[in-house]
Structure formats: structure tokens, C-alpha cells
Amino acid sequence: MATGPLTQITDLVVPEIFTPYVQQLTEEKSRLIQSGATTVNPILSNFLSGGGLTVDVPSFKDLDNEEENIPTDDPADSIIASYQGGTPTDANRKDSVPKKTGTSTEIAVRISRNQSWSAADLAADLAGADPMGSIASRVAKYWALRFQAIFVATTNGIIKANVAANGGDFQNDVSGAAFADGVTNFSAEAFIDAAATMGDSSDDLSLMMTHSVVMARMKKNNLIDYIPDSEGRVMIPTFLGHEVIVDDGMPATGGVFDTWIFGAGAFQIALGLPKVPTETYRYPQAGNGGGQEVLFTRREFCVHPVGHAFVGTTSKGGPSNGTGANQLNNANSWSRVYPERKQIPFARLVTREF
């Protein structure tokens, strides 16, 4: 019985269509991006479209909280007296001396990643009504999760740097040496104290990220409210007005858990594409001649914590998520360049839940 030609992944995936669709879906599926804790920075986007491993991100420091001037109407107190034949002295002149603002140089790093899947892994998608869209959805979900893993590793790195260089002024640690219910576990009081490390800027914090164990504690204590998203389709969990993201990739060791609190734009990001972001290939010799098809996808990221510089020495592929030297989750990879703690829209709460 004659049959038609076999449909292959190489027939289904059109890179020019598939790549931008995956990129769009990745952004839509990432709650970190949708929440506003991360903001796309055009400087970083331009950097990823070009070359280099790191890029300088200049920024202006806040104006100093100096005493303001009180005006005077006495021309003898001003330089204008010299134009009128007067002789004002340095002692009595009241000329306003303009102040200047300083700058800081943050440093962001390119993170290059790739992954591939064989046809066997995608076989279930081949029967779909829109097979390319179905495959794209799975790939986008994967990259959204990997973006979140990069985010967690980077945040861990700046926390370690903060403890080493700044005395841990980001954090409130109530974990203690042993579990004590109502003392070491999550509470509104502990959360507020963590946010208070931001001083009078604590109201700038709008998002929290926590482990499912901590989230369970919050639910048991009736601390969670739910609000609909902009389209009314999804109920978003919130705590004291802060959107809650649950991720079991959060630091958790021996019953001790991290909860992170962010302000809008706490991280500047870019999601870039390498020279060949999507590629399919058929290996006719594989499987003793049975053949195999592979889908390759490649992505580039910048996940940059505001007020920091990446100071590690990385390979051309960029740093990994690991804890080793020059990797994202390492204290020596990061340096805080903003002088004031309140300029960093981030706080850390450490609790012991059992």
C-alpha cells in the first residue's frame, strides 16, 4: 500500500517564524518579566546584538541631600557688584555655587546558552493541529524556566557579595539555631523588618519570590490574597500588596529558606539571539541507519542586578549558574557600585520553617 512522504521536524520548524515566536512566548511565560521586577534595557539589548563579553552600564547617582540656598536681594552680596563698580569679597559674596552629580559604572555580562532535543522527545507534538506552534510552546516554556534559574543564581551571587563586603545589609535573618514556631518561621513582622532595610524606600518593593514550603506556611496562616490578572484569567497570589512568585529553585537548606523582595526594575535584562538561534538537522546514519532528527535552539541573556558590576573573569560562553570562581552564584563575581543601600531595590528574608 502506497503512503505519502513522512513529515519531519525539518519540515515543521521554519526558523524565521519559529525563533521570534519562541522569543515572544518566552517573555509571556516568564512571571518575572510580567511582574515588572525585571525591565528590558535597550543598552543591554544592543550589547547582545553585537560583540563582547561584558558591557559598561553608566548611571547617575542620587543628588546629595545637602541644605538648600536661601536667596538674597542685596546686590553687594553678588558678583553683579563687580559690574557696578563694587568690590565684593569672598567673605560676603552669596553667589550660588552649582552642585554636580556623580556617576556609577555598572557592568553586565553576556550569558550564552543552548539546548537540543531529538525527534523522539517531540514525537507527541507531531500529531498536533499546529505542530510548529506546539513545539514552540514547549521550547518557550523551557527557556522561561532557564531564565528564572539564571535569575536565581545571579541573586544568590549578589547576596553572597553583600554578606562578604557590606555586612549583609540587604537582609533580615530570623532563622536562629533551631526551629521555634512563630519566631523563626515566616511572619508579617519578619517580612516588614526585611523590607525596612530599604529605609524610607521600602514602599518601592512590590514583588516577592519564595519557596513552596514558605508559601504553604503563608497559606496556613491566611496571609495570601488573590487578585485577577489584567485579563481576568489567572488569580495572582499577593502578600501585603506584593505579588508572590513561587519557585523551588530558591535557596533551601536544612529547613532554612530564603524569601526575596524586589522593587520594580530591580534587574535590568535583555533576551538576545546568537547568529543561528534555531537549527534543525537530520542524522541519517543514527540508529544503525534508522535516522534521527534534532532541533537546536540557542539563546543569549543579560540578567543584571541594578547597582552592581560583574567583576568575574568569564569564558567566552559566559558564566554558568554555578558557585565556582567567576560563575553567577559566587561572591567574588559581583561588586556593589551604588553607595547607598536604599538605592538597591532588593531585600532578603531568611526563615527556618521546620
pTM of the model: 0.85
Residue 100 inside a domain? The answer is no
Residue 223 in domain: yes
* Cα–Cα distance for residue pair 229/235, rounded to 1 Å: 6
Query: Within a domain: residue 184?
Result: yes
Per the domain annotation, does 15 fall within a domain?
no
- Residue 345 inside a domain? The answer is yes
- Closest by CA to 18, choosing from 331, 342, 298, 230, is 298
Domain range for 111 is 33-59+107-352
Is the pLDDT assigned to residue 77 strictly greater than 80? no
Give the mean pLDDT of 293-313.
95
Number of domains in the chain: 1
Distance between CA atoms of 164 and 332, rounded to whole angstroms? Answer: 9
Structural contact between residues 140 and 29, judged by C-beta atoms closer than 8 angstroms: yes
Q: Is 303 exposed, middle or buried (0-12, 13-18, 19+ CB in 10 A)?
A: buried
10 inside domain:
no
Least confident of 11-15, 90-94, 147-151: 90-94
What value does the mean pLDDT of the chain take? 88
pLDDT surpasses 60 at 88: no
Residue 91 in any domain: the answer is no
CA distances from 218 to 94, 122, 190, 353 (A): 59, 38, 12, 11
Q: How many CB atoms lie within 10 A of CB 41?
A: 20
Residue 326 CB burial class (10 angstroms; 0-12, 13-18, ≥19): middle
Collect all residues with Cβ–Cβ distance below 8 Å to 112 and sequence separation of at least 6: 274, 298, 299, 300, 317, 318
In a domain, 120, yes or no: yes
- Report the distance separating Cα 35 and Cα 208, nearest Å: 10
CA 324 vs CA 136, 145, 203, 302, 328: distances in Å: 33, 22, 35, 19, 8
